[in-house]
A and B are shown apart, each in its own frame.
Chain A
Amino acid sequence: MRFDLKVALRYLLANRLQSALLIGGVAVAVTVFTFNAALINGLAEFQIDRVVGSSSHVTIEPAKLLPKVVPAPAGTERLVATQRALERREQIKQWRSVERVIETLPGVTGVSYNINGTGLVTRGQQTLPVSLKGVEPARLAAIAPIDRNLVAGEARLGLNDVLIGRKLADDLGIRIGQPIFVTSNQGRERTLTVRGLYSTGVDSLDARVAYVNIDTARVMFDLPEGLTEIEIKLADIYAARAVAKQLADTTGLEVTAWMDKNQRLREALEGQGSSGNIIKMFTLITIVVGVASALLLTTFRRRPEIGIMRSFGISQRFVLSVFMLQGALIGILGSLVGCFLGWGFSSLLVQAGRSSGRALPVDPSLGQYDVALLLAAAASIAAALWPARAASRIDPVEAISQ
């Protein structure tokens, strides 16, 4: 064994209570760190799951038609005011070729080819705006698991059928099998029968969307060939941006990943993330302050011993190393214990939540144990630097004559 390591270990063992307290302190800080990570990341996962679970991961829409503008001469700026050409319907006409591109993409778990539009639902005196979503009946559950979220009726989409959210049904005071009168924004009217009610837990779906057969939508929105939207679901949701970029480059259409479509979710996640980071930072500061002050006391207590080592020609580097190693050992041991405690604590909470029927959004597998281990060990070593330098610079004559 290296002799500096032996001396460091001997010093730690000579002062068992102090060492135990120090390791315990680092462990508590790392427990907070990892539990905090498991909670924040678990919560994020839960929120993402709720949003992303019933919406598309990558959405393809018609290209925005922008007027071509001659580039400004070098060194000048050119301001251009544009207005969207409202008289031209935005649609994806060449969707068959897009379909072929999508088929070559890896990791796609579902695709839905849609014709969407807005309309009004009338029942008696009640008139409510709705988003009509025209989908192929076979792909009804490709994006939102409408079939699994059905609370009444059946997931059937005949040409005159409609599936609506329970909330919308409540607002309209309607039940399964009853007809509703729908007017599209193209002025087409149709009477549809309510086949099923769903409840996804996502308000915008449950209160505002009505699913119809894509062929019904074609007629109601005057789109004999094109589509208005293609939705894609991926196995790895975090690949969405890369997939979106690839599709945008190959098709020239407007392609958006889920994280760029859900600004509010992103802001919420970022807010949670940064408050989590503040907590993590404080745990690291605690480690630095605790380890530094304890080791500084140790160097002070051991001044005469360090003086004697120096008088026997033991190098300053050796003394430095002895104290740095103490910091490193405390950091590594403390963070190992802390990782274990953090994992145990979050696992216990999950179990308790499960048995009480209220699942907690803590995910023990997302405790960032590797990061915690690395940062806590680095913090301890950094904290040891100051006391170790002080120790190595002790004047032997002064220390011995104390």
Chain B
Amino acid sequence: MNTPLLEVNDLRKVFVDRDFETPVLKGVNFTLQRSEMVAMLGPSGSGKSTLLSILGTLMRPTAGSFRMLGRELTSLKEAELSDFRNQQIGFIFQYHHLLPDFSALENVMFPHAGRLWRETQAGRERAAMLLERVGLSERMHYRATRLSGGQKQRVAIARALMNQPALVLADEPTGNLDRENADQAFALMTEIQRETGTTFLLSTHDRELAERCERRIYIQGGVVVDVPSAARVPLRVVPGDMVAVIDRTQTQATRDQRSIQANERSV
């Protein structure tokens, strides 16, 4: 039997600020299989981060539901969600968000030690192994602040994998890196994904990197357009890609417009 890893069903999110409502997700549907590497594309402000936060159980949807590993997550309590997150989900953010007062090794171990309220030998060994895998075994005991940008992001990748999660959610993981470091980090994620069979869902602006993924999904106008890998649709002709329409105030619309123009230039 091959149940999908993640089934998203008519997910909606409306941000409410006083009487002001911003609908961001307007009925998102898609499915992630096990061991997939999926890129999520969409203009800035289209709701990629919002969707990743909801799938990562950091934020509750306004409506709709999603099942992960066969479990309905929208109905769980905060403590249960926290526990689920700890065991099944790893995060990589645009900014590395390492704890500055801890070493690389301690940062990687943190999700494990924090769950058990103590450090274990097994946890230390796994963290060391992961750091070796991301090419930082020599920097293991460096303070996080003493590492370069690319090294920090590689520590963050190792940390996301610490508790052997079923799903890694990466929100523009290379967005803060230069070309070389971005390529390196991306290659690392792809390799690890293949080796471990962990499912990766990563949002990115970088079309070149996105094309290296098996599958891409597009988020625009608050819904997801799923493009299966078999379709091999050339990126440039995906309709509406340049004209994301979001119902927002005038100022927000101009801001979105600007970022869309920026996207066009980068294409």
Q: Which of A115-123, A275-283, A309-317, A346-354 contacts B (4 or more CB under 8 A)?
A: A309-317
Whether A396 sits at the interface, judged by CB under 8 Å, is yes
Interface residues of A, Cβ cutoff 8 Å to B: 1-4, 6, 10-11, 13-14, 304-305, 307-316, 318, 396-397, 400-401
Whether B235 sits at the interface, judged by CB under 8 Å, is no
Residue count of chain B within 8 Å CB distance of chain A: 32
Separation of A3 and B111 alpha carbons in the complex (Å): 11
Separation of A6 and B114 alpha carbons in the complex (Å): 11
Whether B17 sits at the interface, judged by CB under 8 Å, is no
List 6 A-B pairs, minimum CB-CB distance, nearest first.
A313-B86, A313-B85, A314-B114, A14-B101, A312-B111, A3-B113
Check if A396 sits within 8 Å of B58, measured CB to CB. Answer: yes
Separation of A315 and B83 alpha carbons in the complex (Å): 7
Q: Which residues of the other chain, A, contact B79 by a CB distance below 8 angstroms?
A: 315-316
Check if A313 sits within 8 Å of B84, measured CB to CB. Answer: yes
A318 with B114, Cβ < 8 A, contacts A312-B91, A313-B89 known = yes
Q: Which of B30-38, B39-47, B115-123, B134-142 contacts A (4 or more CB under 8 A)?
A: B115-123
Interface residues of B, Cβ cutoff 8 Å to A: 49, 53, 56, 58-59, 78-79, 82-87, 89-91, 93, 97, 99-102, 110-111, 113-119, 159
Q: Which residues of the other chain, A, contact B102 by a CB distance below 8 angstroms?
A: 10
Separation of A396 and B91 alpha carbons in the complex (Å): 12
A308 with B97, Cβ < 8 A, contacts A315-B79, A397-B53, A397-B59 known = yes
Looking across the interface, which residue of chain B has its beta carbon closest to that of A13?
A: B101
The minimal Cβ–Cβ distance linking A77 to chain B, given in whole angstroms, is: 63
A-B contact count (CB 8 A): 75
Separation of A396 and B90 alpha carbons in the complex (Å): 14
A312 with B85, Cβ < 8 A, contacts A3-B114, A10-B101, A400-B97 known = yes
Separation of A2 and B120 alpha carbons in the complex (Å): 11
Task: Using A309-B110, A310-B58 as known contacts, list a sample of 4 further A-B pairs with CB atoms less than 8 Å apart, ordered by residue number in A.
Answer: A308-B99, A313-B82, A313-B115, A316-B79
Contact of B118 among A2, A314, A396 (CB under 8 A): A2
Separation of A394 and B100 alpha carbons in the complex (Å): 19
Check if B97 sits within 8 Å of A304, measured CB to CB. Answer: yes
Q: Which residues of the other chain, A, contact B90 by a CB distance below 8 angstroms?
A: 312
Separation of A59 and B117 alpha carbons in the complex (Å): 64
Q: Which residues of the other chain, A, contact B119 by a CB distance below 8 angstroms?
A: 1, 3, 6
